[in-house]
Structure 1
Amino acid sequence: MQLARVGAVLGVAAAVVTTGLLTALPASAHDKMFRAECMDGKAVLHVNLTRYAPKTDDKTNYLKITLDGKHFKIIEFGDKLVEKYSAEVDLTVQHKFYAEVDAYDGHNGTQFDHKTDPDDKNMIVKPCPEQVPPVEEPPAEEPPAEEPPAEEPPAEEPPAEEPPAEQPPAEETTPVTTTEVAPTTTTTTTAAVVPVAEKDELASTGASIAIPLGIGVVLLGGGAGLLFFLRRRASNS
């Protein structure tokens, strides 16, 4: 009987110890680290959560972050979360992060939860004006380029005066020399009939000399006129 009682007591004690170890093992396995700083002109929170229970289809771990008392992010994670989260804020003043971890493997739902201390200096971002990015001034507006004045159409030049058409030279008129032909003057010389003295009268032979004598006078006058005409013509040429 005593041995049975001793065995029962040892069994109960072993069960208690085992339960305590199983309960305490996960709590001692969770590692948590938070650190805030200025970095690259922003307020940055470094998060390092390890050795948590893995994420399942219906169970997961949560991390909730606030900045300056305002909601910032909620992140789901599994067995670990190693990340950094940044916010663009005014770095000339102080800022404060706050984090809450909700782990699903605690017995009462809050056993392995974690909240950062509101006064934790690792969660404070001190003013760091040297990290403030310079404000880029907008480029000075260049005055609008003056548009070149509209080109005036070139003034129409008066048409060049065409030189007067050269008139053909007046045809030289060859003076026509008119040779006046002097009228032929027929001089009729009438031979004077010299009366024959009665004393020397020849005996009448029955023939008259008046006709031959007249013909000779006409021929003589015509020859004289023709000679005058020929000389006049030769002098005009």
Structure 2
Amino acid sequence: MASRVLGAFVVTGTAALATLVMATPASAHTADGFAQCDGKDAILHVNLTQFAPEKKNTVVIMDGDQVLVPTEKFGTSWTVDKKGLDGKVAHTFTVDVKAYDTDKSKNKNYDKHFTYTTVVCDKTPPKPEQPQPPVPQQPQPPVETTTETPSSSVTPPAPGGSTPEPPLAATGASPGWLLLSGLGLVGAGAGTLLFLRRRRSA
């Protein structure tokens, strides 16, 4: 009798243990990871294990508003390591996992959604801007200027090389009156001379 009871306990325990072992992988759905600085760069590590073996689970990772890892399908496990990410800015990584065996109507929700963040890893001050070299000026074409020769009032020499006499200055006296005066003087002189000769002969 005791052996039968003991056997029943062994069978029951074995069945319960087997059920637990079979159920654990299906319900574990573990997800872990981290984001941190690696020198001046940022890195991200994500590890998914113990999901349903069928390759119908999906994962997508965002870096802020940018897609870092596009949607991928995976089976029991999935791992990603992103290195060399820009360390001059802070990052906010979001990991969104959809398990195909999730059944919310039966309170089976194996989906995962978690966030990792990093601070600015590269705090090296920016280099000062170098002054730009001056832009060489293009040579300007010479500007042509026309020099006007001033007009001269000098009368060009007459043909033959002789220079014409300058005109007499105007004195205001009429040439006719000068001629008559000259004739009068000549006549007076002649009359005086004739009078003196007659006086000597008398």
Based on CA coordinates, which of the two structures has the bigger radius of gyration? Answer: 1
Higher relative strand content: 2
Interval of TM-score (by shorter of Structure 1 and Structure 2): 0.3 to 0.5
TM-score by length of 2: 0.43
TM-score by length of 1: 0.38
